[in-house]
């Protein structure tokens, strides 16, 4: 194992404030300064050198998310993200051999419990109680070998900050920043956690934090229930956007460790992984350490999702009675990020409902005061497959979701009928340039944009083409696309109304 050295206080301070030195007038030249290489296992690395401060950031993006899941294992992508920093066979354990034996016993106890539970109403209550107690004992026995959070403590001890991860429909990402003299340590830690996965505390995490997160974000959240679950269930018929990233409770309760391991081995393979490193590093050093520490990540051939979302044949509608503030969701099917009309979708969403000068905010919030918020966005809940251009509205006091819907649909129809003005279009283009530049002002921002663009579009260079694509959008493009998508048969509406006492 690498010798673990203590970072200087100066390195930590620099790490907290380090940014890329990227003058706005030269951002297009940035493309030529990015080094790219691919390991034999298919892992792709992108490196941008910025030696202004002794710090670097990275983002690892794995092209797998909840849209890749099937019934029975929904939520497994998110669960694996929770397991990522639990450690390896060398980090996070006092005795890996005994721990593996204890985990095997834990798996057997869960299998016995699941077998009885699967009998449904025929299950023996006494037997269930007995098996549940045995399973809890097995979990306690396995945890005695765990050194909690040792991986994260190593990162923090050596100046690392911002260690985190996230999962969505199309991707899972991992990231943090470190002083530049810890590059080899980073490569060891990041490479070994992917090549040497130990699903320790699997059942504890699944039945504890992950299940609790579902309760907080969906079951006990009126907006989460409508937005993250009911709306998606209603809008999508075939593709993986149908279920939420958090997964169904029954799947979380019944998945076993082997399910997670099989899913990991299928998707966490070299060609599905992009790592972007930005900061005070050299491409030569990143390449050398990548070959040393990431080559054990398995290769393989990604299996593309072949199930396609069919054309919608009629409006879909749901009214949910909840003891909470009314909400409105309206979605129209659009194509994914690699479709030629993607920048037009972005322009429409921006003009319709992004920012305080947008049409929906101006009319619904300012002028008619029928909403406290009204926004639109292209690409919910994902971008790789056929998805939605969606509107989220929060009605004002004493305004129903139905009343707000009438206003929203009126504004959408007006845009479809009359198009947009030159001033509106120019404003979108100006904002897109500003947003792009803001995304390049930090090591973390650039690393995230590079790796995510590669994972979602298949070519990181598209990050530099996006502004040009939006610049090329015309009023005629907006009118054409709006007429295509803003049709009643292509619409999904979900709303919650205040439950009557």
How far is 107 from 101, CA to CA, in rounded Å?
A: 10
Residues 6+ apart with CB under 8 A from 32: none
Report strand pairing: 273-279 vs 44-49: parallel
What is 78-134 written as a DSSP string?
HHHHHHGGG--SSSSBS-HHHHHHHHHHHHHHHHHHHHHHTTGGGS-HHHHHHHHHH
Are residue 411 and residue 474 in the same domain, yes or no? yes
Residue 416 lies in a domain: yes
How far is 135 from 129, CA to CA, in rounded Å?
A: 10
Are residue 351 and residue 288 in the same domain, yes or no? no
Residue 232 lies in a domain: yes
Report strand pairing: 161-167 vs 172-179: antiparallel
Are residue 173 and residue 234 in the same domain, yes or no? yes
Residue 98 lies in a domain: no
Are residue 242 and residue 339 in the same domain, yes or no? no
User: Hey, which residues does 167 pair with through a beta bridge?
Assistant: 172
Question: Which pLDDT tens digits describe the chain residue by residue (501 residues)?
Answer: 333 333 333 333 323 333 344 444 456 678 899 999 999 999 999 999 999 999 999 999 999 999 999 999 999 999 999 999 999 999 999 999 999 999 999 999 999 999 999 999 999 999 999 999 999 999 999 999 999 999 999 999 999 999 999 999 999 999 999 999 999 999 999 999 999 999 999 999 999 999 999 999 999 999 899 988 999 999 999 999 999 999 999 999 999 999 999 999 999 999 999 999 999 999 999 999 999 999 999 999 998 888 999 999 999 999 999 888 899 999 999 999 999 999 999 999 999 999 999 999 999 999 999 999 999 999 999 999 999 999 999 999 999 999 999 999 999 999 999 999 999 999 999 998 888 887 777 899 999 999 999 999 999 999 988 889 999 999 999 999 999 999 999 999 999 998 765
Residue 364 lies in a domain: yes
Are residue 257 and residue 391 in the same domain, yes or no? no
Residue 170 lies in a domain: yes
**Does the N-terminal peptide bond of residue 316 adopt cis geometry, omega within 30 degrees of 0?**
no
Residue 131 lies in a domain: no
Domain, as residue range, for 420: 316-498
How much is the pTM? 0.92
Q: Last residue of a domain, which of 262, 293, 324?
A: 293
Residue 471 lies in a domain: yes
Total of domains in the chain: 2
Are residue 334 and residue 476 in the same domain, yes or no? yes
Are residue 410 and residue 449 in the same domain, yes or no? yes
Q: For position 175, which CATH number holds?
A: 3.30.830.10
Say if residue 25 is exposed, middle or buried (CB neighbours under 10 Å; 0-12, 13-18, 19+): exposed
Are residue 372 and residue 419 in the same domain, yes or no? yes
Are residue 222 and residue 324 in the same domain, yes or no? no
Q: Which helix (H) or strand (E) holds 475?
A: helix 475-485
Are residue 456 and residue 413 in the same domain, yes or no? yes
Are residue 271 and residue 330 in the same domain, yes or no? no
Residues 6+ apart with CB under 8 A from 491: 312, 315, 316, 330, 331, 332
What distance lies between CA 408 and its chain's CA centroid? Answer: 28
Are residue 447 and residue 364 in the same domain, yes or no? yes
Residue 442 lies in a domain: yes
């Amino acid at each position: 194992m690498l010798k673990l050295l203590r970072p200087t206080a100066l390195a930590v301070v620099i790490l907290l404030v380090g940014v890329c030195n990227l003058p706005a007038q030269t951002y297009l030249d940035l493309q030529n300064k990015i080094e790219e290489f691919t390991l034999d296992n298919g892992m792709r690395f992108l490196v941008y050198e910025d030696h202004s401060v002794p710090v670097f950031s990275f983002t690892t993006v794995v092209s797998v998310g909840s849209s890749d899941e099937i019934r029975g294992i929904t939520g497994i992508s998110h669960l694996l993200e929770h397991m990522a920093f639990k450690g390896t066979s060398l980090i996070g354990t006092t005795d890996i051999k005994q721990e593996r034996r204890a985990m095997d016993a834990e798996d057997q106890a869960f299998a016995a419990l699941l077998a009885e539970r699967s009998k449904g109403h025929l299950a023996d209550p006494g037997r269930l109680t007995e098996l549940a107690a045995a399973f809890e004992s097995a979990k306690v026995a396995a945890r005695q070998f765990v050194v909690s959070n040792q991986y994260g403590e190593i990162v923090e001890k050596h100046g690392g900050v911002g260690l985190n991860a996230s999962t969505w429909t199309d991707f899972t990402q991992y990231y943090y920043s470190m002083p530049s003299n810890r590059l080899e340590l980073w490569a060891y830690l990041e490479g070994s956690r992917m090549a040497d996965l130990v699903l320790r505390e699997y059942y504890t995490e699944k039945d504890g934090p992950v299940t609790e997160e579902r309760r907080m974000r969906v079951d006990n959240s009126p907006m989460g229930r409508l937005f993250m679950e009911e709306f998606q269930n209603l809008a999508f018929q075939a593709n993986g956007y149908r279920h939420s990233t958090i997964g169904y409770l029954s799947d979380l309760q019944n998945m076993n460790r082997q399910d997670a391991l099989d899913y990991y081995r299928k998707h966490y393979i070299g060609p599905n992984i992009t790592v972007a490193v930005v900061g005070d590093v050299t491409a030569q050093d990143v390449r050398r350490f990548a070959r040393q520490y990431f080559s054990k990540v398995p290769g393989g051939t990604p299996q593309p999702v072949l199930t396609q979302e069919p054309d919608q044949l009629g409006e879909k509608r749901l009214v949910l009675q909840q003891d909470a503030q009314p909400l409105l969701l309206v979605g129209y099917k659009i194509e994914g990020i690699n479709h030629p009309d993607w920048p037009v979708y972005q322009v429409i969403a921006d003009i319709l409902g992004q920012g305080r000068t947008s049409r929906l905010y101006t009319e619904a919030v300012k002028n008619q005061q029928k909403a406290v918020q009204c926004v639109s966005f292209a690409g919910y809940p994902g971008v790789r497959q056929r998805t939605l251009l969606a509107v989220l509205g929060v009605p004002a006091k004493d305004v129903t979701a139905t009343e707000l819907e009438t206003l929203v649909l009126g504004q959408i129809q007006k845009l479809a009928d009359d198009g947009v003005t030159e001033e509106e279009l120019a404003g979108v283009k100006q904002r897109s340039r500003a947003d792009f530049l803001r995304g390049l002002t930090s090591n973390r921002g650039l690393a995230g944009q590079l790796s995510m663009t590669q994972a979602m579009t298949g070519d990181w260079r598209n990050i530099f083409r996006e502004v040009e694509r939006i610049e090329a959008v015309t009023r005629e493009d907006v009118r054409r696309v709006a007429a295509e998508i803003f049709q009643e048969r292509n619409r999904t509406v979900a709303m919650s109304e205040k439950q009557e006492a």
